[in-house]
């Protein structure tokens, strides 16, 4: 099993071992051992739930920094659609564009614009598609990683197209290269991300061999700098002409935006990783075959709810909707003919299938795996079933699995430990009651009496 980069990591110094995070992780990927959390790398999908949950800010997302801009001759910021919802009412999109110039970017390319293109191609694809339904969105990398591990049989139903982030990087660099004459390779495209999953996706892309994105910078990392430079409109790149996305792409910043843009037959939009999981379980059981397209977003509320965003998700959504009212009615960036040409060219189709990742198996050998499964069931039944997390594993079942894998003991369970101590104590008491033969009154045994 090849290991890959993870954006979500633990700041050991800050971790107090409180176990708050282990319950929230949808993949049961966190254990607390010796007073510190640890992430089981193979299981983590970089959804960022643990970042939200940790009261001690010990879970962090590693992202790129602005220093990386120095590696390129010309730099383009690719703000996610949700980014524009992070500011106060009076802040215009032009102000934000100007601020990007102020912190070192040469221009801004909205990912919302690329989202419109993806929306169009998926819409056309669904019109011709005759296979199993529903088709799932490929936009959220945390959801795709979840499906790789827990729902491998549904992967064939993922829309076979690149993400808006990837499409945006390609178009932005091609446009800039044509305009400036700078070679494509010397242009840097930096996604401004609301979530850690996008960092992981850039480093280990699932739908393409090589990402065209050169860096992913967390919103939390540059927000203060952007605020300081808001209104630097006089700088290059701050002009209103650079804002080209319409409401179709801008609305991808919150849940339902994507499915409304795709607008093909019956659609459904679900957000929040735990909701996504329960829906996929239903679909695995054969439900919702009559639905054409399902938008799945790991973060509650969609990308506005991303763990690296600054605003509360509801505030972010309202701000974004307000901007959509003010800016979203522009003419579409590409006309229907050009979009049709893009669709037919297959230019933004995925080049790699999203492969399953079999990390949940107990053993490579089937018969050994079956034996271990039996043992796992037995140990689980022996455990109290409280799922209290005091052992450092998220549930009794996961503790049983850890025991099978040799990384935990039955006595890690406090109740089991108590039972064992009780048995031991009783044995000690029994032993304490035993009197050596030299001191014991044998007359009772033999029945002899002095009287
Ligand atoms: S929530 Fe998890 S990472 Fe945060 S302090 Fe508690 S155990 Fe450590
Ligand atoms: S990022 Fe998500 S999957 Fe990874 S450890 Fe945190 S909660 Fe679990």
Q: What is the CATH number of the domain that holds 382?
A: 1.10.15
Residue with tokens 């990683």: 145
Boundary of a domain, candidates 61, 85, 100? 61
Q: Are residues 224 and 179 in the same domain?
A: yes
DSSP per-residue string spanning 267-278: EEEEESHHHHHH
CA of 77 to the centre of ligand 1 (A): 33
pLDDT at site 3: 67
CA of 280 to the centre of ligand 1 (A): 28
pLDDT at site 449: 46
Q: Note the pLDDT tens digit of each residue in 99-118.
A: 999 999 999 999 999 999 99
Q: Are residues 47 and 73 in the same domain?
A: no
321 assigned to some structural domain? yes
446 assigned to some structural domain? no
Q: Are residues 255 and 292 in the same domain?
A: yes
Q: Are residues 215 and 90 in the same domain?
A: yes
Positions in the chain whose pLDDT score sits under 70? 1-3, 234-241, 441-451
| Residue 417 structural domain | 366-433
Q: Are residues 179 and 297 in the same domain?
A: yes
Q: Number of structural domains, the chain? A: 3
How, if at all, do strands 59-61 and 8-10 pair?
antiparallel
Ligand 2 interacting residues, C-beta cut-off 6 A: 8, 25, 27, 29-30, 39, 44-50
pLDDT at site 439: 78
Q: Are residues 120 and 172 in the same domain?
A: yes
Which pTM value belongs to this model?
A: 0.90
Q: Are residues 33 and 167 in the same domain?
A: no
pLDDT at site 334: 83
447 assigned to some structural domain? no
Q: Are residues 110 and 253 in the same domain?
A: yes
32 lines ligand 1 (CB under 6 A): yes
pLDDT at site 445: 53
pLDDT at site 86: 97
Q: Are residues 195 and 108 in the same domain?
A: yes
Q: Which residues pair with 60 in a beta bridge?
A: 9
Q: Are residues 100 and 42 in the same domain?
A: no
Q: Are residues 182 and 156 in the same domain?
A: yes
pLDDT at site 198: 97
Cα–Cα nearest to 355, from 209, 198, 168: 209
DSSP per-residue string spanning 243-296: ----HHHHGGGSTTHHHHHH--SSEEEEESHHHHHHHHHHHHTT--TT--EEEE
129 assigned to some structural domain? yes
Q: What is the CATH number of the domain that holds 25?
A: 3.30.70.20
Q: Are residues 228 and 373 in the same domain?
A: no
394 assigned to some structural domain? yes
């Amino acid at each position: 099993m090849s290991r890959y980069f993870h954006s979500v990591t633990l700041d050991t110094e800050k971790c107090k071992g409180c176990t708050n995070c282990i319950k929230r992780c949808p993949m049961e990927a966190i254990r607390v051992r010796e007073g510190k959390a640890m992430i089981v790398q193979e299981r983590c999908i970089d959804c960022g739930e643990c970042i939200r949950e940790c009261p001690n800010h010990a879970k962090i997302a590693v992202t790129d920094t602005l220093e990386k801009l120095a590696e390129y001759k010309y730099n383009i910021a690719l703000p996610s659609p949700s980014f524009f919802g992070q500011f106060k009412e009076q802040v215009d999109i032009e102000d934000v564009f100007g601020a990007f110039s102020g912190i070192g970017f040469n221009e801004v390319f909205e990912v919302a614009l690329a989202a419109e293109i993806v929306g169009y191609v998926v819409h056309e694809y669904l019109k011709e598609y005759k296979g199993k339904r529903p088709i799932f969105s490929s936009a959220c990398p945390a959801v795709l990683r979840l499906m790789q591990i827990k729902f491998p049989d549904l992967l064939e139903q993922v829309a076979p197209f690149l993400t808006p982030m990837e499409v945006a990087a390609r178009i932005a660099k091609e446009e800039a290269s044509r305009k400036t004459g700078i070679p494509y390779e010397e242009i840097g495209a930096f996604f401004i991300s609301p979530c850690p999953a996008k960092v992981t996706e850039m480093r280990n892309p699932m739908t393409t061999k090589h990402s065209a994105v050169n860096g992913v910078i967390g919103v939390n990392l540059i927000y203060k700098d952007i605020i300081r430079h808001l209104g630097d409109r006089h700088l290059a790149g701050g002009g209103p002409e650079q804002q080209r996305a319409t409401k179709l792409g801008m609305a991808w910043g919150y849940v339902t935006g994507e499915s409304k843009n795709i607008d093909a037959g019956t659609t459904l939009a679900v957000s929040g990783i735990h909701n996504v999981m329960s829906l996929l379980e239903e679909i695995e059981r054969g439900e919702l075959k009559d639905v054409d397209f399902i938008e799945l977003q790991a973060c509650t509320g969609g990308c506005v709810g991303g763990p690296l965003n600054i605003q509360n998700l509801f505030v972010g959504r309202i701000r974004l909707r307000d901007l959509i009212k003010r800016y979203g009615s522009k003419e579409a960036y590409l006309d229907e003919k050009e979009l049709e040409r893009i669709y037919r060219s297959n230019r933004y189709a995925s080049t790699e299938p999203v492969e399953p990742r079999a990390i949940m198996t107990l053993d490579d050998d089937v018969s050994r795996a079956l034996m271990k499964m039996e043992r796992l069931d037995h140990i689980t039944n022996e455990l109290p079933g409280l799922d209290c997390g005091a052992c450092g594993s998220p549930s009794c079942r996961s503790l049983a699995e850890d025991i099978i894998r040799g990384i935990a003991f039955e006595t890690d369970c406090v109740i089991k430990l108590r039972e064992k101590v009780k048995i031991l104590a009783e044995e000690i008491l029994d032993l304490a009651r035993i009197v050596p033969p030299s001191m014991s009154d044998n007359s009772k045994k033999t029945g002899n009496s002095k009287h």
